[in-house]
Structure 1
Amino acid sequence: MYYTSMSQGTRKPTAELGLLDATMIGMGAMIGAGIFVLTGLAAEISGPAALLVFVLNGIVTAFTGLSYAELAASIPKSGGGYAFVREIFDDRSSFLLGWMLWFAYMIAGALYALGFAPNFIELLHVYGFTPKPGAVGAIALPVISIDIPVQLGLAFVAVSLLVAVNAVSTAASGSAETFFTITKVLILLIFILFGYLSVGGGEPTSFTLQNFDPLFPDDSSALSILPAMGLTFIAFEGYDLITTVTEEVENPRENIPKAIFLSLAATVIIYALVVSVAIGTLGASGLAQAGEAGIAAAATSFMPTGLPIIKNGGAVIVFGAVFSTLTALNAVVIASSRVAFAMGREGQLIGSIGNLHHRFGTPFIAIIVSGAVMLFSVALPTASAGNMSSLFFLLSFIIVNFSVIKLRRERPDMTRPYTIPYYPAPPIIGIVLNVLLTGVLVWYLTQTDQLALLLSVGWIALGLLAYYGLNWLRSRSNPAPSSGGGGGGSTPDGPTSGSGSGSDPNSDPTPTSDPVDAAMTDSDSDPTLSRDTDTQDGPAHTGAQEEV
């Protein structure tokens, strides 16, 4: 099988996305599985105060959103946070950031798959095909005689199918993202509407403010919202995807920051209304008992029944949960593979990971490797997957905020189409708040989820081993010259060619050869380009082909 490396040419995307398109990209990524899967878990930790958890997380996220806006306008390169750090920090720091982001996206994929399974079973239950998710047992595999829980099997199938689809073809557009996001928002608005219409209905699940009294459970304090904030932080990951299309947005100086804050504001409002309805109708204890299917259980309890086609009004929300978890899973399959692809292209992973398939035009190997990790990760408890992904996103956002400060100091005269207002307060506040949440989350993991903490530390240790191991192999195959100028090759503590502190983000790096895998590619090529952009005369990306 053959894979094609990226060409040395560059492409300038056409600015065709407006403010609405950019905003929908952020909302579409954020309003995914988190609100459906984690609301019940947050209620279990903080009771009715779960409502505050989502509001405060939105405020924390806003400060890092400012940093993403400035960096995206200053460094218009593919790769998101990894691309920013790659230009500003040394080789090792950029590797660790990419390694953490890659892991965060993959574990998020496991979380979304684990959220899809119970909601899909709940949908079947609404139509009378299966018992409730908690009553569904296991299936026996005929060949190896092992019983696998149905929910785990469904999560495995969901990941496998989406990995296969993305490996063959990846196609998306701003208009499609807008349509799907509006559909999800409308479903949640229906949930909110029926929830508030149930006020004073006299039914056990009618909305009542009594479910919010007391706001904090008797056995906990106001500090209980902090670990819940750490767990649910991943529900606000996604606005950063807006910064990956900076060059494709009209008037990015104004529209990128506007899109970030419009998407955040709209998402926070929707989250707050959804959580308030779920607690106000089902109660915090009932929501906690429902776990990952909390929102679906709340919808089934108070929405009308006997409607044509959909049979049960709650089925609308259950369908929304299934749809959102699948779209969120698909998004992180793409995101995780693109981070791995960018790292492979930069020479920080095995070079073949940075290649495109000669026929499909997709980062085939990056998708398969990322998908394999997701498949193993679906065996994790849902809470552990949420905790680990939130932890690594928090760590990544801390580094992104530091990147703004470092870039301002080292390149004060750099052209900045957008600058953070009231600098340096926002990035400093972002660092402090993210560090606080990280510390609380780590403490919480030491008390309740040692598995997540152990796996997180293990992934970082594995990354350091991979980093120094690859550099050692390259140094043996391609010894550094005894004297002369800098340039090519990576060093453990310095930037590789074309990257690192002080480099011009608009300059073309000098290609290097990778003795580990001779597939190094140009760092300015767009990793999101796929076979769908090819012309009829052949692939848009040409270059050396290698047999893997």
Structure 2
Amino acid sequence: MADEELAKDLGPLAALTIGVGTMIGAGIFVLPRQAYEIAGPAIALSFVVGGVISLFTALSASELGTAMPKAGGSYYYVNHALGPLFGSIAGMGNWMGLAFASAFYMIGFGDFVTALVAVPAIDLDVIRISGTQVAAFFAGMLFIAINYVGAKETGRLQNVIVITLVAILTVFSILGFLQADLSTLKPFAPTKAGYGAVLPGTALVFVSFLGFAKITTVAEEIKNPGRNLPLAVVGSVVIVTTMYAILMIVMASVINWTELAAPGADPVVEVAEVAFGNSLGLAGVGAGLIIFGGLLATASSANASILASSRINFAMGRDKLITAWLNDIHDKFATPYRSIAVTGVIILVLILIGDIKILAKAGSVLHLIVYGLLNLALIVMREADVAEYDPAFRVPLYPITPILGALFSFALIAFMDRIEIGLAILFVVVGIGWFFIYARPRTEKQGVLSKYVLSRPDDMPDPAVSAATTVKPDGGDYRVMVPLANPEHETDLISLASAVASQRGGTVVATHIVQVPDQTPLASGAAHVEELDAESAELLERARADAETFGVPVETHTILSHRSFEEIFDAARTHAADLVVMGWGEDSHGSPGRAESAIDELTNGLPCDVVVLRDRGFDPGRVLVPTAGGPDSELSAAIAQMLQAEYDSELSLLHVTDESRDAGEEFLADWATEHGIEDANLVVVDDEDVEAAIERAAGDCSLLVIGATEEGLLSRLVRGSLALDIVDDVDCSVLLAEKQRKRSMRERLIG
């Protein structure tokens, strides 16, 4: 199945409002009563402390986000830098932390709904569902559906909600300030714990600061992330921290904090009644406006959290830390709809069974783990001096900033209650267990930290080398099958296959298919292999010798069949191949421009990825990859990247466009970054004749890597195909790449 991209359709305002919209809700509308109860007016300092802790991590997230604008945000950075063991912890923690937070916001939303209309409770034999939870449940279903239909619709909704919300709170603050009596703030830290209550207060309200990291989870969808991502991330923290501090001071100066902390109190509504009533004589209007604002605030928080949590799930599926089934992109909406649906079910369950304070702190504690790991990830990326790591934004005062970010994040966990600390430990243990039981045998990605340690075993402490070896992903055994037929091309095919296997830590499976006449039973043919094909043993022995020069394991198999070309794909299934590297035989391509024959194309999907070498002398010195972003382009990019790593190839990417050159350059740069080959030469050509442009560019290269055609079989049989025409017309060797994926019969016939 092709790894599909998410559309870039979020502008800077939409990105900023994802962060602000999430953070502005809980602190001012849902938690003030509990917050004042803990720290009194000093809760304003709790918000400032939370903002400072968040700012350190926001700066680190901004640098990582501009260097790696990927779906998954914090999870992706941890997984990429620290490896899939920590990626499993961060992914599970971030995903479930957002689910807890989403449920918390939705219950807050339900509380405001019940202030406006009566919502009946539901009594079941095993559980009583309050009216607040009922309202939250149905509201949750609505926002899950909104996220299901696409990020652009989500971004537009966030813009409207947050702009309206900020306007309401601005009026609320001004009117409240006019009624303020600063004497009510004395003493500033009146609770029994005094200023010692500030950090426990921060632990409670930190759920209010989860929004900035959510921006990075949609970095892959943000326009111009190098500029817009840092502005949105850092800007959202500064804006919200300032608003929280002002609002908490204003509220406690309008009504004494003891009244705001009383059981059953609704601080923001009560303050609004005083502020609007004394200033404008509109107490009822003020209360109604604040209830409306509360609905907007909790709705925007929930909406942004659902958006972000589903994309964590999506990113983990892409890295094989959870099932790839979650990777599917909706044909119409271009969203990871299965991730959204699965996450939505979890959120709805939490709404039905969760306590609001536990949900808030659970969301916070899981995020604090991720934030600590995120800061460590930045240090690893800097210290490992990764060649492709080139952020457009760099944190100031490195390494002090990420070190303090990590220390503060982990330290704040100590001020949580036992149940939240236990939950944090549980999720770390679950993440570790999940990695060793499920992810390690499947994932192939090795973190930068592990690579760095294992590449310098003599310079590193033995425990570090041992630990890196222990957690190194198995990724299964990546198997590259090479069906051999022509001794003249055996060396080139094996060299190509071995280069790929070497880069993936895999095995070369060399096969020779011996065709037995239909009149001869295969069992009888086995006794006469030498007569049927005298070169079989010699061909496979040469293949073994050639592959072993690359230091990769080699298997050899002689396969007897009544078929020849068609047997290749059955053999790939039998030997569990991940990639087939085969030669361009004259009788192999009755389906022009694709790897399989016409019969295979109509009757079966490919069992694995396939590359077909049109061999005119295998020379990977100068590799050209034309791309228009088609579904086979991922495989083209992966093959080119592995050849570059193995042979130090000069790699060029080509995009031919008949539209805006600027748009073409932006597309190609984004595509190169997406596939980890941003150091390649980027070439954009304005030309309506794509074939001619590719052929001209191929004149300067030694190997052309091109994706299979997307045209249907019927049109190809009538008109041929661009890919096949290029293969025939260029002078260099050509690799035709075709990614394994499902295609309907209509797609196979028509395209």
Displacement of 1:156 in angstroms is 2.0
Q: Deviations over 1:263-295 (max 9, x none)?
A: 322212211121112212232222223668432
Alignment of 1:95-134 (within 5 A): 95-122=88-115, 124=116
Partner AA of 2:365 in structure 1: L
Give yes or no for the alignment of 1:91 onto 2:84: yes
Q: Does residue 55 in structure 1 map to residue 48 in structure 2?
A: yes
- Determine if contact 1:58/1:268 at 8 Å carries over to the other structure: yes
Q: 2:121 aligns with which of 128, 133, 139?
A: 139
Pick closer, same or farther for the CA change 1:328–1:22 going to 2, 3 Å: closer
2-side partners of 1:157 and 1:440: how far apart?
34
Residue 431 of structure 2 aligns with which residue?
Answer: 463
Cα distance in 1 between the residues matched to 2:330 and 2:73: 22
Distance 2:395 2:253 in 1: 38
Equivalent-residue separation in structure 1 for 2:265 and 2:504 (angstroms): 51
- Specify the code of the residue in structure 2 equivalent to 1:466: W
Q: Are residues 1:400 and 2:374 paired?
A: yes
Counterpart check, 1:181 vs 2:154 = no
Q: Is the 8 A contact 1:70 1:420 kept in 2?
A: yes
d(CA) in 1 for partners of 2:4 and 2:335?
A: 18
CA RMSD of aligned residues (A): 3.8
Contact 2:206 2:364 survives alignment (8 Å): yes
Please tell me whether the aligned partners of residues 357 and 363 of structure 1 are also in contact (alpha carbons under 8 angstroms): yes
- Larger Rg computed on CA atoms: 2
More off after superposition, 372-381 vs 341-350: 372-381
Matched, 1:149 2:130: yes
Structure 2: which 5+ residue stretches go unaligned? Answer: 444-473, 480-497, 507-577, 579-633, 641-672, 676-710, 712-739, 745-751
Corresponding residue SS for 1:265: helix
* Kept after mapping to 2: 8 A contact 1:39/1:292: no
Q: Equivalent residue for 1:133?
A: none
Give the match's secondary structure for 2:261.
helix
Change (3 A) 1:147 1:30: closer
Letter matched to residue 61 of structure 2 = Y
Secondary structure at the aligned position of 1:376 is classed as helix
Letter in 1 for 2:477: A
- Secondary structure in 2 matching 1:356: coil
Structure 2: distance between partners of 1:81 and 1:282: 40
Q: CA deviation at 1:140?
A: 3.9
Shift of 1:438: 1.9
Structure 1 unaligned residues grouped into runs of 5+: 131-135, 199-206, 490-496, 498-504, 512-522, 526-536
Within a 5 Å distance, the mapping from 1:339-358 to structure 2 comes to: 339-358=312-331
- Please give the secondary structure, in 2, of the residue aligned with 1:347: coil
Cα drift, residue 79 of structure 1: 1.5
Distance 1:81 1:421, change over 3 A: same
2:308 alignment counterpart: 335
Please list the CA deviations of residues 245-271 of structure 1 after superposition, one character each: whole Å capped at 9, or x if unmatched: 657767655554344333322212211
Tell me, yes or no, if the aligned pair for 2:51 and 2:209 is still in contact at 8 Å. yes
Work out the CA distance in 2 between the residues paired with 1:330 and 1:259.
17
Indicate which of 388, 402, 405 corresponds to 1:427. Answer: 402
| Structure 1 range deviating more: 176-185 or 400-409 | 176-185
Structure 2 residue corresponding to 1:388, chosen from 342, 352, 362: 362
Q: Which has the higher contact order (CA 8 A, sep 6+)?
A: 1
User: Bigger CA drift: 463-472 or 52-61?
Assistant: 463-472
Quick one: distance in 2 between partners of 1:286 and 1:308? 22
> Helix, strand or coil: the match of 2:329?
strand
Name the aligned partner's letter for residue 398 of structure 1: G
Contact 1:41 1:291 in 2 (8 A): no
Instruction: Determine which structure has the larger strand proportion and give its number.
Output: 2
The amino acid across from 1:193 in the alignment is: I
- Cα deviation, 1:307-343, whole Å, max 9, x if unaligned, reads 9999532111111001111121111111111111111
- Counterpart CA distance in 2 for 1:478 and 1:306 is 67
**Preserved contact between residue 345 and residue 355 of structure 1 (Cα < 8 Å):** no
How far apart, in 2, do the equivalents of 1:104 and 1:322 lie? 22
- Residues 172-181 or 53-62, more deviating: 172-181
Q: Which letter does structure 2 place at the counterpart of 1:421?
A: P
Contact 2:317–2:325, Cα closer than 8 Å, also in 1: yes
Q: CA offsets per residue over residues 487-524 of structure 1, 9 Å max, x none?
A: 279xxxxxxx9xxxxxxx9x95579xxxxxxxxxxx95
Q: Give 1:33's aligned amino acid.
A: A
- CA gap of 1:153–1:26, structure 2 versus 1, over 3 A, is closer
Q: Which residue of 1 aligns with 2:477?
A: 480
8 Å CA contact retained: 1:22, 1:242: yes
1:273 aligned residue (221, 232, 246): 246
State the percentage of identical aligned residues.
Answer: 29
Deviates more, 1:237-246 or 1:276-285: 237-246
Q: Which residue of 1 aligns with 2:731?
A: none
Of 40, 44, 54 in structure 1, the residue corresponding to residue 37 of structure 2 is 44
**Alignment TM-score, normalising by the size of structure 1:** 0.76
Task: Decide whether the 8 Å contact of 1:195 with 1:281 is kept in 2.
Answer: yes
- Cα-to-partner distance string for 1:17-62 (whole Å, 9 max, x where unaligned): 35x5554443233223332112222111111111111122112211
- The reply on whether 1:303 has 2:276 as its aligned counterpart is yes
Q: CA deviation at 1:211?
A: 2.2
Counting matched residue pairs gives: 472
Residue 501 of structure 1: aligned partner = none
Render the CA deviation track for 1:140-186: whole Å, top value 9, x for unaligned. 45x86964321222222222332244335554375654333211100
Aligned equivalents of 1:461 and 1:31: distance in 2?
A: 32
Structure-2 residue corresponding to 1:534: none
Q: Is the contact between residue 119 and residue 293 of structure 1 (CA under 8 Å) also seen in structure 2?
A: no
Q: Does 1:409 align with 2:402?
A: no
TM-score (norm 2): 0.57
Partner of 1:197: 178
* Match of residue 20 from structure 2: 27
Q: Secondary structure at the match of 2:25?
A: coil
CA–CA separation in structure 1 for the residues paired with 2:310 and 2:277: 42
**Aligned in 2, Cα 1:316/1:488: closer, same or farther, shift over 3 Å?**
farther
- Does the Cα contact within 8 Å between 1:305 and 1:312 map onto a contact in 2? no
- Residue equivalent to 1:204: none
For 1:406, the aligned partner's letter is V
Q: 1:145 to 1:418 in 2, by over 3 A?
A: closer
Measure how far apart 1:472 and its partner are. 7.5
CA 1:288–1:312 in 2, change beyond 3 Å: closer, same or farther? same
